[in-house]
Amino acid sequence: MKVEPIIKIKNTKLGEGPLWDYRSNELLWVDIPNGLIHFCNLENQTCNTDDIGQMVGAAIPCDNGNLLLAMQHGFAFYNPQTKELQKIIDPENDLPLNRFNDGKCDPAGRLWAGTMSIDPPRDAVGSLYRLDSDLKVTRMLSDIKVSNGLAWTKAANKMFYIDTRQFKIMSFDYNNTTGNIENQQDFLVFDKELPDGMTIDENDNLWVCFYLGGKVVCYDSITGKELEVIEIPTHCTTSCTFGGENLDTLYITTAANEGSDLGGTLFAVQPGVKGLKANFFKTNQT
């Protein structure tokens, strides 16, 4: 299985949150500390970049063409055409040393995004939030160290969630109608390995990136069995998503790291399985 470097944007520090926008056939991802959103046409390997002016942990398309951002200072809508940023709410305005990290929409179009401390030590000061289409925000979990990857099964009855610095993937029974989670369990616990971002394929298998691990690992989401390991030629693999016209290419973001010219590069591989379409944020607009 051949892993290809696709594109490297100069001065990338922490590539994260890749998402395939099947409407425009573009790959979106962010550079968190630089506060950048990249919009890339991978057919001709060209990228447009917007500078948000603060750390941005996730950029999620909305059903109305805008983006929903999870940033250093809370949630906001962003119009890529006008470059207008419309603040929604900062649920942690009393915690200025925290920022939002990874985020995704569930199958019903609600945004889930979590927080972490900006600087070490990574104490359990973060939370996981759910933002509904009426823009009501609910804290779903507390005592999070480094909020990271999220995934839902095709049937939308299970949710998986990573806390990187607790070295584990959690699982929940998920109610797609209400957005409620229950029956929290430790699905996989690692010995000092750092699970980061993840995605899920059409067979409900999880693809998990390991920060400082230089790899993406596929797990059976029922048994937890390791099914496949993809080695990435740089140390800091951060997140992944399926994209391309047939959703059969796995795109992998990375972070810069000393001693590697490939740190911060976007990689691609075809693992022989397809992913699911990305979920967009559902607004109240009709």
Q: What are the pLDDT digits (tens) for 95-153? A: 999 999 999 999 999 999 999 999 999 999 999 999 999 999 999 999 999 999 999 99
**Model confidence at 4, in pLDDT bands (50, 70, 90)?**
very high
CATH assignment of 4-269? 2.120.10.30
| pTM beyond cutoff 0.85 | yes
The residue among 251, 259, 273, 264 whose CA lies nearest residue 4 is 251
- Indicate whether 160 pLDDT > 70: yes
Question: In the numeric block, which tokens belong to residue 154?
Answer: 């095709």
- Range in 20-24, 167-171, 247-251, 258-262 the model is least confident about: 258-262
Contact (Cβ atoms closer than 8 angstroms) between residue 109 and residue 132: no
| Residue-level pLDDT at 82 | 97
- Alpha-carbon distance of 272 to 31, in angstroms, equals 28
Name residues whose C-beta falls within 8 Å of residue 186's C-beta, 6 or more positions apart in sequence: 168, 169, 170, 171
Q: What are the pLDDT digits (tens) for 74-109? A: 999 999 999 999 999 999 999 999 999 999 999 999
33-54: average pLDDT: 95
- Indicate whether 44 pLDDT > 70: yes
- Indicate whether 49 pLDDT > 50: yes
174-198: average pLDDT: 97
Q: What are the pLDDT digits (tens) for 199-228? A: 999 999 999 999 999 999 999 999 999 999
- Alpha-carbon distance of 286 to 266, in angstroms, equals 36
**Model confidence at 286, in pLDDT bands (50, 70, 90)?**
very low
Sheet containing strand 36-41, edge to edge, reads 15-21, 26-31, 36-41, 46-51
**Alpha-carbon 265 to chain mean position:** 16
- Give the DSSP H/E element, type plus range, for residue 68: strand 67-71
Q: What percent of the chain has pLDDT over 90?
A: 95
